[in-house]
Chains A and B, each alone.
Chain A
């Protein structure tokens, strides 16, 4: 699955986007975050406070318990600070 990161999440992970092969049992956005946290120190640091992470599936905001379904792209980012 294509995963894109923004702001300090992007800096901590170290790449703006990547394609990650997800295990079968990873079905929700929150489970992706848990899976990513185990991929290395940079991921563990990026996702150390999973509850603050915001997500968008195919560019629509979704809660973390949302199933991935047929989505092609998952965006993970901190709370937004525009305006």
Chain B
């Protein structure tokens, strides 16, 4: 890992098990004194008033990691970031579990807030993942529809 400040450490990972938010976030500040802000976003699986037993996350192996890394790299080029951790689940995710973690470190909070929001906005519409509902009553679930507002969110960047 490069010690220079203009090359942030970027970790991108997909996993089928539970995301340990505390451990993953600790990586951003461990052993260094220059980090003044870490913004952490966690996206969780909802049960939609008890109707869902979980969400199945399908992804495009290879492209999914590459797209998230590309988006993280773009954020690193726009703001003075010191580190980025982006981890996404695939497979079956239960209500209350974390689907995605994006944690961004910088010296001052503005860059970390902006970087985290930028990464999430693009990840939602550009990283190849698709959610299918698993219904609590056992019937066949629906594929989740993309929201127009997610696509529209990109235009502000």
Q: Are these two chains actual partners, yes or no?
A: yes
Residue contact B63 to A82, C-beta cutoff 8 Å:
no
Interface stretch of the complex, out of A19-27, A38-46, A63-71, A73-81? A73-81
Residues of A within 8 A of B129 (CB): 80-83
Query: B interface, how many residues as a size bin?
Result: 20 to 34
Interface stretch of the complex, out of B19-27, B72-80, B107-115, B119-127? B119-127
Contact of A78 among B63, B100, B130 (CB under 8 A): B130
Residue contact B124 to A80, C-beta cutoff 8 Å:
yes
Contact of A7 among B64, B120, B132, B151 (CB under 8 A): B132
CA separation between A82 and B60, bound complex, in Å?
11
CA separation between A59 and B1, bound complex, in Å?
27
Interface stretch of the complex, out of B3-11, B31-39, B46-54, B139-147? B139-147
In the assembled complex, the CB of B91 is this many whole angstroms from the nearest CB of chain A, namely 13
Residue contact B123 to A82, C-beta cutoff 8 Å:
yes
Contact of B130 among A56, A59, A61, A81 (CB under 8 A): A81
Residue contact B130 to A80, C-beta cutoff 8 Å:
yes
Residue contact B127 to A83, C-beta cutoff 8 Å:
yes
Residues of B within 8 A of A6 (CB): 58, 60, 128, 130
Residue contact B145 to A82, C-beta cutoff 8 Å:
no
Residues of B within 8 A of A7 (CB): 58, 130, 132, 143
CA separation between A83 and B118, bound complex, in Å?
13
What 10 pairs across the A-B complex have the smallest Cβ distances? A82-B129, A79-B146, A7-B130, A59-B63, A83-B124, A81-B144, A8-B143, A81-B131, A82-B127, A83-B100
Which B positions have Cβ atoms within 8 angstroms of A? Answer: 43, 57-60, 62-64, 66-67, 88, 99-100, 120, 123-132, 143-146, 151
Which A positions have Cβ atoms within 8 angstroms of B? Answer: 4, 6-8, 56, 59, 61, 75, 77-83
